[in-house]
Amino acid sequence: MPTAYTILRVRVTAQDADTLRALLRDARPDVGGRIGQNPDGSLSFDAYVSPEQAQDLAREGVSVETIEDATANGRARQAEVGEGDRFAAEDAVPQGLALKVQDI
């Protein structure tokens, strides 16, 4: 897989809200999930970016930590997608994942 197609999941931590707002405005990374506040007042979020973009995100007051190779993990998940149609048989229906239990 050429580097150009690798997307990393990185955790971006900004020292304060102003730094974070400026970063989101300027860099416009693909944000996954929501922004969390850390006990020390800093703020963190996940971004999905190329290795080059990850380097560009790092700046004064901002740290960037690589969590995973999102492209590689995404490919692994694609291998976990069903093929064909498991509900094609006439009597096949989704069963639900809860246990169906008699009342006690």
Partner 1 sequence: MPYLNINEVESGVISLAAAFPKAELVQLPEPTFEGRTCHALRIGTHRLEPKPAVVLIGGAHAREWGSSEILVNLAADLLHAHTGGTGLAYGGTSFTSAQVRTIMEELDVVVFPLVNPDGRNYSQTVDPMWRRNRNPARSGGNPAAIGVDLNRNYDHLFDYRTAFHPLAPVRVSDDPADPDQVYQGPEPFSEVETRNVRWLLDRFTRTHWFVDVHSYTQKMLYVWGDDQNQSVDPAKNFRNPLFDGKRGLKDGLLYAEFVDEGDADDSAVLAERFCEALKGVRGTEYTPEPAFDLYPTCGTSDDYAYARHILSDQEEEKILAFTIEWGTAFHPPWAEMKKIVLDVDAGLVQFCLTAAA
**Binding footprint of partner 1 on the chain (CB under 8 A):** 7, 17, 20-21, 24-25, 28-36, 43, 48, 53, 70-71, 73-78, 80-83, 85-88, 92-103
Q: How far is the CB of 58 from partner 1 (least distance, A)?
A: 17
CA torsion angle 58 63 67 72 (round to 10): 0
Nearer to partner 1, 35 or 62 (CB): 35
CA atoms of 39 and 90, how far apart (whole Å): 55
Nearer to partner 1, 60 or 86 (CB): 86
CA atoms of 17 and 38, how far apart (whole Å): 12
